Amino acid sequence: MIRVVLPPHLRTLAHVGMEVSIDVQGAITQRSVLDALEACYPMLRGTIRDHDTLQRRPFLRFFVCGEDWSLESPDHPLPQPVALGKEPFLVIGAIAGG
Amino acid sequence: MSKVRVLVGTRKGAFVLTSDGKRERWEVGGPHFGGWEIYHLKGSPADPNRIYASQTSGWFGQIIQRSDDGGKTWIQPGTPPSEQTTPQGPPKGESNKFVYNTSPEKGGKPLTTHMWYDGTQHPWEFKRVWHLEPSLSDPDTVYAGVEDAALFRSSNGGQNWEEIAGLRGHGTGPRWQPGAGGMCLHTIVLDPSNPKRMFIAISAAGAFRTDDGGKTWRPINRGLKSQFLPDPTAEIGHCVHRIAAHKSRPGVLFMQKHWDVMRSDDGGDSWREVSGDLPTDFGFVIDVHTHEPETIYVIPIKSDSEHFPPEGKLRVYRSRTGGNEWEPLGKGLPQSDCYVNVLRDAMAVDSLDTCGVYFGTTGGQVYASRDAGNNWTPIVRDLPTVLSVEVQTLP
Q: Count CB-CB contacts under 10 A for residue B75.
A: 19
Spatial separation of the C-alpha atoms in residues B240 and B256, rounded to whole Å: 7
DSSP letter string over B187-201? EEEE-TT-TT-EEEE
Spatial separation of the C-alpha atoms in residues B122 and B253, rounded to whole Å: 32
- What single-letter amino acid sits at B81? P
Query: By CB neighbour count within 10 A (0-12 exposed, 13-18 middle, 19+ buried), where does B323 fall?
Result: buried
Which among B36, B59, B97 has CB closest to A46?
Answer: B97
Q: Select the more confidently predicted residue: B327 or B111.
A: B327
Compute the mean pLDDT over every residue in chain A, rounded to the nearest whole number.
94
Q: Is residue B392 part of a domain?
A: no
Residue B108 pLDDT greater than 80, yes or no? no
Q: Is B59 on the interface with A (CB under 8 A)?
A: yes
Chain A residues within 8 A of B36 when measuring between CB atoms? 9
Q: Is A43 on the interface with B (CB under 8 A)?
A: yes
In chain A, the DSSP E strands lie at 2-5, 19-22, 60-64, 67-68, 89-93
- Cis peptide bond upstream of B148, omega within 30: yes
> What ipTM, to 2 d.p.?
0.91
Q: Is residue B249 part of a domain?
A: no
Which among A8, A51, A97 has CB closest to B97?
Answer: A51
- What single-letter amino acid sits at A58? P
* Per-residue confidence band for A9, with pLDDT thresholds at 50, 70 and 90: very high
- The confidence score (pLDDT) of residue B170 equals 81
* Per-residue confidence band for B239, with pLDDT thresholds at 50, 70 and 90: very high
Spatial separation of the C-alpha atoms in residues A8 and A93, rounded to whole Å: 9
Mean pLDDT of the region B195-220: 96
Q: Is residue B218 part of a domain?
A: yes
- The confidence score (pLDDT) of residue B106 equals 63
**8 Å CB contact between B290 and B350:** yes
Per-residue pLDDT tens for A18-58?
A: 999 999 999 999 999 999 999 999 899 999 999 888 999 99
Domain of residue B200, residue span: 98-235
Non-local CB neighbours of B311 within 8 Å, separated by 6+ positions: none
CA atoms within 13 A on the CB side of B311: 9
List % helix, strand, coil for chain A (3-state, nearest 5). 25, 25, 50
Q: Which residue in chain B has the smallest CA separation from A58?
A: B59
Q: Cβ contact (<8 Å) for B61 and A93?
A: no
Residue B259 pLDDT greater than 80, yes or no? yes
- The confidence score (pLDDT) of residue B109 equals 64
- What single-letter amino acid sits at B270? S
DSSP letter string over B204-231? TTEEEEESSTTSS-EE--TT---TTSSS
Q: Is A97 on the interface with B (CB under 8 A)?
A: yes
Question: In sequence order, which ranges of chain B are alpha helices (DSSP H)?
Answer: 165-168
Looking at the DSSP bridge assignments, the partners of residue B317 are B298, B328
- What b/e sequence results for B219-234 when a residue is b if at least 16 CB atoms lie within 10 Å of its CB, and e otherwise? bbbebbbbeebeeeeb
* Per-residue confidence band for B117, with pLDDT thresholds at 50, 70 and 90: confident
Q: Is residue B364 part of a domain?
A: no
**8 Å CB contact between B230 and B183:** no
Per-residue pLDDT tens for B156-191?
A: 999 999 999 899 888 898 899 998 888 999 999 999
Non-local CB neighbours of B82 within 8 Å, separated by 6+ positions: none
Q: Cβ contact (<8 Å) for A42 and B60?
A: no
Torsion angle of C-alpha atoms B57, B60, B64, B65, degrees rounded to 10: -80
Please give the span between the terminal C-alpha atoms of chain A, in angstroms, as a whole number: 36
Mean pLDDT of the region B363-373: 98
Q: What percent of chain B shows pLDDT beyond 70?
A: 95
* Per-residue confidence band for B216, with pLDDT thresholds at 50, 70 and 90: very high
Q: Is residue B241 part of a domain?
A: no
Which among B58, B62, B81 has CB closest to A97?
Answer: B58
Chain A residues within 8 A of B90 when measuring between CB atoms? 39-40, 42
Which among B59, B76, B97 has CB closest to A94?
Answer: B59
Q: Is B36 on the interface with A (CB under 8 A)?
A: yes
- The confidence score (pLDDT) of residue B29 equals 96
Q: Is residue B313 part of a domain?
A: no
Chain B residues within 8 A of A34 when measuring between CB atoms? none
- The confidence score (pLDDT) of residue B78 equals 82
Question: Please, what are the domains in chain A?
Answer: 2-93 (3.10.20.30)
Spatial separation of the C-alpha atoms in residues B189 and B195, rounded to whole Å: 11
Q: Is residue B129 part of a domain?
A: yes
Residue B82 pLDDT greater than 80, yes or no? no
pTM above 0.90, yes or no: yes
Residue A73 pLDDT greater than 70, yes or no? yes
Q: The domain spanning residue B109 has which CATH number?
A: 2.130.10.10
Name the domain count of chain B: 1
Q: Is residue B33 part of a domain?
A: no
Q: Cβ contact (<8 Å) for A42 and B90?
A: yes
